[in-house]
Amino acid sequence: MSEHSTRDSERTTRRGFLERVALGAATPMLAACAASLASSAIGGEAAGKLAFQPDGSAFSFDTGDLKGVLRGEGKSRGLLPASHVATGKSLAKSLGLFSHYRLLDDANRYGPAGWDWNSSASLTPNGAVEVSWTRDDVHPFDMHAVYRFTAADTLDLETGIRAGRELKRFEVFLASYFDGFARSFAMVKDGSKPRFDEAKQSDAVWHMYPRDAGAVAMIQDGRWKRPPNPVDWTIRPELAGACAVRRDEETGLTAVLMARPADCFAIAMPFGEETHRSVYFSLFGKDLREGETVKAKTRLVIRPKLSDEAVVAIYEEFLQASRN
């Protein structure tokens, strides 16, 4: 988005935002997942700054705004390391940005994490990276992901699942671990327009923002009692869409994470200063038939000095672009 169009978007009213989000939630998602992911395109800039580059068993990137590594040491741990070029600020730690963590349904946790499930990756002709996990004795489904930069400060991730058997209330828990960024927010309902609720220690240690009452039922169905590392989430206000923000006050950088409402039934995070500095998206939350495929679209934008109004405009732009 250009500076001019950003200013125009910020001047527009947020009236009717929740209605537009609801329309986005109804977007059909079922498609031939592998074919869709393989054909993902970045656009004309792919041959230059926006394309990933092979780097041994990993893939490096330098978009001019962001630089770092995807799949360091060949492991499925998202962007790690990653930094903001203009400020030199480190962005990621621990297990990276946009990495696939817990894989859950109504009765099972499939392995400790997607990080530990063997995967393969390849560079597409468009400069994106496609990752594949193949079903095995532990995982009764295939998983696919495509990482691609659509702007110098914008990473898109598409995650796909093909069920090998019936799965009830299936979830992929997508994780991002930031370096710094001590203030954390979720976009929640507040009448006809959204507001950004800050995750504070005075309210809870582990915050979970649900999409609706059905999401609360899934969150509390016992999946979070399963080891390792069970979590006791505190249910917070309902989401207005699926958008979270982390802010780094020292540099003024803002990280905006988003998904289509129909793809994400909850957003979770600890209170802002807690050492994980994490944001998690609960993707899918669907019953899947054997052979059924689903996909979820997510986006990460890292940009300086974003107002709440600018974040809403960025999210609305994502919703519009991801209808296709």
Residues 6-25 have a mean pLDDT of 49
**What is the model's pLDDT at position 193?**
86
How far, in Å, CA of 19 to CA of 240, rounded? 10
**Model pLDDT for residues 127-177, shown as the tens digit of each residue:** 999 999 999 999 999 999 999 999 999 999 999 999 999 999 999 999 999
Placement of tokens 């004795």 in the chain? 137
Placement of tokens 């962001």 in the chain? 66
Q: pLDDT band for position 21 (50/70/90)?
A: low
- 129-136 long-range contacts (CB < 8 A, ≥24 apart) are 129/52, 129/59, 129/70, 129/71, 130/37, 130/38, 130/40, 131/71, 131/76, 133/76, 135/164
**Model pLDDT for residues 273-283, shown as the tens digit of each residue:** 999 999 999 99
* pLDDT of 28 above 90: no
Domains of the chain in sequence order: 3-321 (2.70.98)
* pLDDT of 287 above 90: yes
**What is the model's pLDDT at position 236?**
98
* pLDDT of 67 above 70: yes
Q: How far is CA 32 from CA 25, 133, 161, 208, 235, in A?
A: 20, 16, 10, 31, 35
Flag the least confident range among 44-53, 79-88, 215-224, 314-323: 44-53
**Model pLDDT for residues 181-205, shown as the tens digit of each residue:** 999 999 999 988 899 999 999 999 9
Q: pLDDT band for position 48 (50/70/90)?
A: confident
Structure tokens at 64: 């001019």
Q: How many residues are there in the chain?
A: 324
**What is the model's pLDDT at position 26?**
40
